[in-house]
A = this chain, B = another copy of it.
Amino acid sequence: MPVLKRSELPAEQVRPGVERRLGYTPGLMLVMVDFDDGPQDRPDPFHSHPHEQASYLAEGEVIFFMDGEETHLSPGDVFLVPSGVPHAIQLLTRHVRLIDCFTPIREDFLSEAASALQK
């Protein structure tokens, strides 16, 4: 399906207050993540993955942590995560929307979406 209308995309609840919508081609995945449980007084746990990641901050404000540095991001800003590098974000506003792109695709997200559908 080449077009994903947001209003028709199934949303998966990652945790209470956090929704994920995704689309993908064979080697590329775009993930829209809507956080509504901010602000936070500390970052999410650091995590890493073999997938390369490029993210666009569409709405809200966050701090991005990587390589021992922390940067305040506003809408329109971008962060880049090479394969395997630990990183984290901290929400500074109630609502945040991130557009995360990954290559290769996050098979783990597809598995979680499939098992959510089976519930």
A44 within 8 A of B: no
CB-based contact B101/A64 at 8 Å: no
Cβ of A113 within 8 Å of any chain B Cβ, yes or no, is no
Q: Which residues of B contact A18 (CB under 8 A)?
A: none
Interface of A is mostly: strand
**CA distance in complex: A64, B23 (Å):** 16
Interface members, chain A 16-49 (any B CB < 8 Å): 23-30, 32
Given A23-B54, A25-B52, A56-B56; A64-B103 close (CB under 8 Å) = no
Set of chain B residues within 8 Å of A81, measured between Cβ atoms: 2, 25
Tier of interface size on chain A:
35 or more
Is A117's CB within 8 Å of the partner chain B? no
User: Which residues of the partner chain B approach A23 to less than 8 Å between Cβ atoms?
Assistant: 54, 78, 80
- CB pairs A–B below 8 angstroms (11 shown): A3-B78, A4-B77, A4-B80, A23-B54, A24-B80, A25-B80, A25-B82, A26-B52, A28-B103, A30-B56, A101-B101
Question: CB within 8 Å of B: which residues of A?
Answer: 1-6, 9, 23-30, 32, 52-56, 58, 64, 66-67, 69, 71, 73-74, 76-83, 87, 99, 101-103
